């Protein structure tokens, strides 16, 4: 079992809709959780991080963390074509390493 699991997609949503991405992790001791966006051929770019159970909102993005169920999700509201990218979930268990999922590819249809 991989440490961090994501649905690979592709997830296709119409422009203006909500895109919902899910991520599960295996290490119950994980402490911090990150969502990175990666455009094709580019480097991962941090868009959200969350440490505590509950929701964290930043603009059109909301991260949700449920440590009891060991999942973290990302909602993208009012999806735009520019949101089309691969979204990587990353988990840290308290040391310096990040464990990444394989990513979910999102396509926003104009």
Partner 1 sequence: GAGVSQSPRYKVAKRGQDVALRCDPISGHVSLFWYQQALGQGPEFLTYFQNEAQLDKSGLPSDRFFAERPEGSVSTLKIQRTQQEDSAVYLCASSPGQGNSPLHFGNGTRLTVT
Residues near partner 1 (CB under 8 A)? 4, 8, 31-32, 34, 42-46, 49, 88, 90, 92, 94-103
According to DSSP, the β-strands at 61-66 and 71-76 are antiparallel
> CB 66 → partner 1: shortest distance, Å?
20
Nearer to partner 1, 2 or 15 (CB): 2
> CB 44 → partner 1: shortest distance, Å?
5
> CB 99 → partner 1: shortest distance, Å?
8
d(CA 99, CA 75): 21
d(CA 14, CA 31): 34
Nearer to partner 1, 69 or 95 (CB): 95
- Number of C-alpha atoms within 13 angstroms, CB side, residue 44? 17
């Amino acid at each position: 079992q991989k440490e961090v699991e994501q649905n690979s997609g592709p997830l296709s949503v119409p422009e203006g809709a909500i895109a919902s991405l899910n991520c599960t992790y295996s290490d119950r001791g994980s402490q911090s959780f990150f969502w990175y966006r990666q455009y094709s051929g580019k480097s991962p770019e941090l868009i959200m991080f969350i440490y505590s159970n509950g929701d964290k909102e930043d603009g059109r993005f909301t991260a949700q963390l449920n440590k009891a169920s060991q999942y973290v999700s990302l909602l993208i509201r009012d999806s735009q074509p520019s949101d089309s990218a691969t979204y990587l979930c990353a988990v840290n268990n308290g040391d310096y390493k990040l464990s990444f999922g394989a990513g979910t590819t999102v396509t926003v249809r104009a």
